[in-house]
Structure 1
Amino acid sequence: MSTTFAEPGLATTAFARLEAEGRLLNPVLKGPTRKPGRFGFRGELALRFATRLADEARPPELTCDQVIAVAQVGDPKLAFFAGYLLSFEHLKDVAEALGDTLGAGGKYFLFCNNIDLSKKYQVAMNGAVFYVLPIDEATVYNELLELFYLDKSELKKLDTAGKTDRVADAALKFDLGFDTITYAEGLALMGPVRNPNENRPV
């Protein structure tokens, strides 16, 4: 069962606009974490919405999946955001959707399915720097544990909010530098996009 934001907490964090726009989908966590004044979200971020016909509710055209993010009460910027993208090109959609919630001091990680497994990049967009990495360990959560040298067995005893805190705390201390490229350079370097509907029943 997902947690919900307690008011007025949500309205005083960087999640406020994203929630108001209906971008925070399928949450397994959407509420206070174990750290005072911190809110966490784990779920999907809607990037592009489908055209609405009358009252028909349609799923978004594009999402950033496996999102893990935290925001502090009173801070309009997201402190930490991580998620999964099928293609590097959708980095632009993430930067546009997050918009004014991005800050120069935040730590933002995107794991892309079509990035060379041996490469890691830094890409500046919308006044923020994104760490762009390949997806190798199947899930964003496992990738982050490996990147931050966190012990999975130690985190098992924590609840979702506690695990989110531990990952976010490690992310905020992360200061490794990767190759810096532009968005255009990344588009030229990215590989083909896997068909997300492959092997799915019709």
Structure 2
Amino acid sequence: MSLTIQDTVLGRLEAEGRLLNSVLKAPTHKPGRFGFRGDIALKFQAKMADEARPPELSSDQVIAVAHQGEPYLAFMAGFLLSFESIALLAEVMGDALSPKGKYFLFVDNIDISKKYEVDYGGATFYVLPIDESTVYNELLQLLYIEKNDLKKLDTAGKTDAVADKALAFSQSFPKLSYEEGVKIMGPVRNIYENRPV
């Protein structure tokens, strides 16, 4: 029987309608592993009749894998506009986060020269600045993965390669409390300014 999203912890997020804009939502090449690449809605807009509106807040460019039979996400990386949203992310993910998982958050409004470990909601997040690039490219740099090595792989294969490296990640960064992080974070950028309407 082939693995479905319902066999993993991603099933709940899917049922809640939180997994959006996916470029991958399928089993990867590793047995028992399900991969997701896309956005996770953290806060929905009020719905008017039947119209589907984009979420008010989401974690974008998410790369995540879940293993069959594990009640938590093994690996997740994503983009957050504001450090403060870590609390909302942890609340939405709930039991899908575990001290055993590896979670990387690239946050737009933290000091570009700093990297932190933040314990929140029973999980540890590696919180990193995003340097004008994508979560995927930032991860490749952080995990020392050569882009050329991934060229021949499909999306599921690339996701496996990144997840395997991420799961073995053992670097540590200075600890920062959530409260402290909120105090020192910079202003939240409006991603819609300077865009033609």
CA distance in 1, matches of 2:62, 2:130: 14
Confirm or deny that 1:17 pairs with 2:12: yes
Match of 2:174 in 1: 179
The equivalent of 2:125 in structure 1 is 130
What is the TM-score of this pair, normalised by structure 1? 0.94
* Paired position in structure 2 for 1:198: 193
Question: Per-residue deviation at 1:65?
Answer: 0.4
- Partner SS for 2:84: helix
Which structure 2 residue ranges, 5 or more long, are not aligned?
Answer: none
For 2:65, give the aligned amino acid. V
CA contact (8 A) 1:12 1:75 kept: no
Is 1:55 matched with 2:84?
no
Question: What corresponds to 1:3 in structure 2?
Answer: none
Are positions 1:28 and 2:8 aligned together? no
Residues of 2 paired with 1:41 and 1:171: CA distance? Answer: 15
Read off the aligned partner of 1:45 and give its amino acid letter. I
Superposition RMSD in Å: 1.3
Counterparts of 2:94 and 2:69, CA distance in 1: 17
Query: Alpha carbons of 1:7 and 1:24: their partners in 2 closer, same or farther (altered >3 Å)?
Result: farther
Q: How many residues align?
A: 197
Matches within 5 A, 1:160-171: 160-171=155-166
Conservation of the 8 A alpha-carbon contact between 2:3 and 2:34: no
CA positional deviation for 1:54: 2.4
SS, match of residue 152 in structure 2: coil
- CA distance in structure 1 between the aligned counterparts of 2:140 and 2:185, rounded to whole angstroms: 24
Whole-Å separation in 1 of the counterparts to 2:166 and 2:14? 23
The structure 1 residue matched to 2:80, chosen from 73, 82, 85, is 85
Aligned partner of 2:91 among 68, 88, 96: 96
1:53 to partner: Cα distance:
2.2
User: Which blocks of at least 5 consecutive residues in structure 1 are unaligned?
Assistant: 1-5
| Counterpart Cα distance in 2 of 1:147 and 1:59 | 30
Q: 1:115 aligned to 2:102? A: no
